[in-house]
Structure formats: C-alpha cells, structure tokens
Structure 1
C-alpha cells in the first residue's frame, strides 16, 4: 500500500484492544458492540452501541450489505518431508489461470494456537511444491502472485464447498484466543458461500436490528463480494476478488440518491463492489465479475455516501478507502477517539460509522 497514508496516520493500537473472542463470548450480544459515529461535514463524533443504529440513520437511507458467507478456508497439510503446515485458501473460485490463490503458513506448535506467518524470504513456498491435504487431496504451488500469496492447483475428492465443510476450519490469526466454529464468522446476511474471511462489518447485525431498521424506513439491499485472506502481517494492496451487483440493488442506489437519501455501505467489500459497478457518470449498474479496483482519496468514491466498518491497522490498505469516504480530518479524529475510549479492533470488535452529515 501507499506509504504516504501510513505516515499521515500515525497511531499505535495497544495489543489489549484486539477483540480476542466473539462479542457473545464476552458477555454481550452481537448488536451490543460499541459504535463510534463520525460526521464528515462537522467533524463531530458520537459514542453509541450498535443497537442505536436505527435511531442514528434516517428514513430513506439505504444500507448495502454483503451476502457472502464465510467458508472454513483453513486446511492442515504436510510438506513432502512430513512438516505440518497450514494452507489458507484465498480464492474460492479458480481465476483465469485455473488456479486458486493460497497462503502457506506454519502449523502451530501448541495445540489450539493460530497458524504462524512465514516471512516471504524464509518460508518453504516454491513453484512445484506439493502439499498433501486431508482426505487424499493435494495442492501444488505455482508462481508467486504477491510476496505472500501463490497460485495453486487443487486436486480434491469432492466439490470445494463440501470438501472444506468436512476438513476445513475458519481462518484465524494470533490475536483470537482459540478456534471458533465457522458459524461465529457468519453474518445475518450470509447466503452465498465464497469468502475466505468474514465480511465483518455486518457481524453486529441481528434479525431484530434489521427489523427495527426496516420499521424506521431504512432500506437494505445486497451485493456479493467474496473476500480473500487479509493477513495482518502483510499490508499489501487489495487484489482481485469476485463480485456481483444485482440489477435491483443498482437501481435502488439511484432511486435513493434521487430522493435525497444516503447510500451507506456496510463494509469495505461493499464499497469495492459498488464502485466497481459505477461508471464515470456516477450511475451504479448491474455487474458481475472480478474486480481489481483500489480506492484511494485521489480516486474518490462515486456511489457511496457513508460507510460502516471495523477498525483497521495503521498500515492497512483499507485506510485509503476510508479516507476517500470520510476525509482525512474525520478519520484521524475517529481513530484518536477509538484508542482513547478503548474500542476493540478486528473482526470480533467494535465498529465505526462514517456519515457525510
């Protein structure tokens, strides 16, 4: 990612602010997490619980959500010399080369620990390396895609979703206290399997929250974007991901804006999908395919007025997108407030709602 953004946002997240378990395991409901609301026009910030969302939004606003469901995309494998490794599947569908993207990680030495990170110059990954997988499957690594990800050809005994359901587990990183079932990584909108990691901005939504939003006149519409792995140790720019913007959702964004409502994306994945389907004229159209779009403050946003998102690391490429939506001044204030008031980071943590006014 651009180093300029990292130098402009100089903050440190104390380790104790990592959410180590789902909200439910911490004694609060999914919708009981905290929500910091920031307003771009005034730079005002407000501290809320997520249950306040129906009162914070206005009748006629549109929430666009990602309906991608999380796959148990982490597999245990073995190298030819018998060394145990972890393979994180980053693309649920093969790309143009007929290969998937994978990240090879070290298997934990301690039972229940998270897989470790191989620095690019020190890991065993190389083209032609065969990794034996459970159930007689295997993966043969191909050329590097990034310093962390490689192409791989998978040979499986079953279709991929069935195979992962039997042998896979949810991808997790060291800040999470233990393996949680994949159900902990699903959102209330999850209906289309395909994500390697949860589209986590939508995790606090519950059926009750959605009902109260609809009851107050807030609209909800889906897109699909299947996420790849987003290792916290390597902050490269986002790469190609599969997305779909239905015709009904595309049309609704135009109707809402024409009526004076606001289009609010639930998660950076939704921003990427909507902006990938938006022409230079600002009109969102039905779209389906792979997107390589990287959203920066210089590029700006055309389809989105606001964003509900989690909290991101100082060098995360998502901060470029957040600045495009919220502006530098508001984003800087929100992160200072979040650290001062001990908001929790990562997929099981608290959220940030960025509004234009």
Structure 2
C-alpha cells in the first residue's frame, strides 16, 4: 500500500456484500479498528462507549437516505444526486454510453432531460416531474447499490438510527452501527451526541472524483456545544467524513465546496469514526488530514492484514488524533 498516492490493493473477499444482519451479526456487532497515531487495536463496535471519555462529543449527520435510483422507460438506471438551487438535478446515467445534451429520458410521471455535463459522469438535468426531488424519489426510487453488493436491499438498511432529514443520495454510512443500544450506552457513559446535516450526493464506486458542492447545516446549538466541549478539554469526534466537511465549512447553512486535502489544518474535530474507504478514494485524503499519513498507513495495513470488511455494510475505523 502507498498512502502517498492513496492507493492499495483491496481483495474481493474483503468487500462486505450484505448488511451485517444478513451475515448473522448484529448491526452494532461489526468490528472496530482504533488508530491512536500509529498504534492500532481491535474491538467490536459495542466497545465504543468504553473507548471514549465522559465529556467527549460525537457529531452525527442526521441526513436520511433517499431511494435515489430510478429506471427509465428504456431500462437505463439513473442515480439522482443533488437538486441544485436553480431546480435542476444532477444525475448519473449508469452503464450508458449515449449521454448527450438534449437527451430525454422517460421516467415515471415525467421526464429528465440532460442539459450539460457536470463532471466526467454526472449531468445537469431538467426535471419535468411532479413534486420536488425528495417527494418524487420517495414515490418512485429504490436505494442505490453497486456491484459489490449481492442484491437490492430495503431502504431501511441504508438508514441510520438518528436519520431525520431526508436528502442524501447515498447513506452517510459511518453511523450505521450506532444503534439505539449503543447510543444509550454512550449517554450512560457521559458521552454527548449532537447533529449536523449534510445531504450526500452520488459518489460513484468507479470514479474517484473530489466531492462537489453539497448542502449542509450546522445548527447553532451544535456549534455552541462544540465550543463548550473543547473549552473543557474534551474531544469532538466526527461520525463520518460528511460531518468533517460540514464542520470545517463553518456554522450556519448553505452549499459547501470544501475539499479537504492532507495539507489542510483540521480545526474542528479531534477524531473521526468512518468506514474503510476504497483504493484511491478522495476520502483517504481527508483521513490523512485528520490523522496523518503514518497513522493511516498503519491502520490500513492492519485492516488488510486482519481482514476487515469494506464499504457501507462493512467494519468501522476510529481515528484519534
């Protein structure tokens, strides 16, 4: 593995193809790799409360996952990403080589017309459908899945226990093992929990582009609690890279185009709870910024050696600064 180029080989056998529950493991029973600098230790996720200290703060992303995949009348699968401020949608035609400006896809109750490329795989599209993106996808979509999963799974397996704000095209999956039981144990330990919102777009498993603008909100009570926790000498732990992006973008709400690179100073968080990310994924650059290259190298070498599982249904990594 070379972290400098953010690249390593991921054996196919380490891809989590189904939710933990379908593998005979409780949702909160996945493995938890803990990195404290270059030192690593191995746990179950249910150990998390005992690994944190009273007064520490977990910040979670309360964005709920939408069923953001729809099928056209011609059998083309579209992944619907973000709704732009002007009302256009960002869409990804999956495994379709004929995308061009003006192409009109017939979809349930209307159509989507491609206007112009947005990235190498995403298009800006005019949506001629009833309602907004959230209401439309709720009626007609299904959960996005990639080829490493073994089949379609119900939307519920892509929802976090605390998800209350519909809007994400893909699951903010770092918090998937945070069940009610674990949250109760954290509260009993004196670990605090506070929300932010960041609606994730489509992050294709085949292309490793930097993140594009996404809508976020950091509520004033969460900002005040973060300041209080840090003033008391306790730690702020982000649950997921989406939380880091939101917090580092500042208080309030709006669209963030922040891309966190290894040389950026991380000001708002002292640790990160996250999944294990694919080779060359842009998220690995953020992990390097949070924990440093040596810690990331040691953690991923241990995860590969001990056969941790990758992707949204896989195991979890806690990086502490």
- Which TM bucket (shorter chain)? over 0.9
- Please state whether the residue corresponding to 1:84 is helix, strand or coil: coil
- 1:58 corresponds to which of 44, 53, 58: 53
Matched length = 320
Work out whether 1:103 is the aligned partner of 2:92. Answer: yes
Partner of 1:321: 286
1:216 matched residue in structure 2: 189
Q: Tell whether the 8 Å contact from 1:61 to 1:262 is kept in structure 2 after alignment.
A: yes
Tell me the alpha carbon deviations over residues 267-299 of structure 1, each in whole angstroms, 9 at most, x when there is no partner.
00000000001xxxxxxxx31000000011211
> How far apart, in 1, do the equivalents of 2:145 and 2:47 lie?
29
Q: Measure, in 1, the Cα distance between the counterparts of 2:4 and 2:34.
A: 24
Report the counterpart of residue 88 of structure 1 in structure 2.
79
**Per-residue deviation at 1:10?**
4.1
CA contact (8 A) 2:45 2:177 kept: yes
CA contact (8 A) 2:308 2:315 kept: yes
Matched, 1:271 2:244: yes
5+ residue gaps, structure 1 = 107-117, 278-285
Please name the residue that 1:110 is paired with: none
Q: CA deviation at 1:164?
A: 1.5
Pairing 1:44–2:39 present: yes
Q: Which moved more, 1:321-330 or 1:152-161?
A: 152-161
Distance 1:197 1:171 in 2: 7
Q: Contact 1:170–1:179 (CA<8 Å) still a contact in 2?
A: yes
Aligned equivalents of 2:265 and 2:121: distance in 1?
Answer: 28
3-state DSSP of counterpart to 2:72: strand
Runs (4+) off by over 6 Å: none
Q: Does the CA-based 8 Å contact 1:129-1:141 persist in structure 2? A: yes
Matches of 1:207 and 1:269, distance apart in 2 = 21
For 1:129, the equivalent position in structure 2 comes to: 103
SS of the residue 1:210 aligns to:
helix
Query: Is the aligned partner of 1:300 residue 2:295?
Result: no
**Number of the residue aligned with 1:178:** 151
Tell me what 1:139 maps to. 112
> Match of 1:341?
306
Q: Which of 221, 229, 232 is the aligned partner of 2:205? A: 232
**In structure 2, how many angstroms separate the alpha carbons of the residues matched to 1:354 and 1:21?**
25
Aligned equivalents of 2:130 and 2:210: distance in 1? 34
TM-score, normalised to structure 2's length?
A: 0.97
Corresponding residue of 1:109? none
Residues 6 and 314 of structure 1 are in contact (CA less than 8 Å); yes or no, is this contact kept in structure 2?
no
Structure 1: how far apart are the matches of 2:218 and 2:68?
A: 24
Corresponding residue SS for 1:312: coil
Q: Per the alignment, in what secondary structure is the counterpart of residue 115 of structure 2? A: strand
- Tell me the alpha carbon deviations over residues 19-59 of structure 1, each in whole angstroms, 9 at most, x when there is no partner: 0001111101110000000002xx21100000000000111
- Asked if the contact 1:6/1:315 (under 8 Å) is kept, the reply is no
* Alignment match of 1:250 (pick from 223, 235, 244): 223
Residue 18 (structure 1) aligns with: 15
Contact (CA 8 Å) 2:46, 2:182: kept in 1 or not? yes
TM-score, normalised via structure 1 length? 0.88
Residues 90, 123 of structure 2: 8 Å contact kept: yes
The Cα of 1:300 is off from its aligned counterpart by: 2.2
Q: Which whole-Å CA distance do the structure 2 matches of 1:6 and 1:341 have between them? A: 18
Root mean square deviation of aligned Cα: 1.2
Residue 137 of structure 1 deviates from its aligned partner by: 1.4
Superimposed CA distance per residue, residues 181-214 of structure 1 (whole angstroms, 9 cap, x where no aligned partner): 1111000110000000000000001101000001
Distance 1:323 1:187 in 2: 26
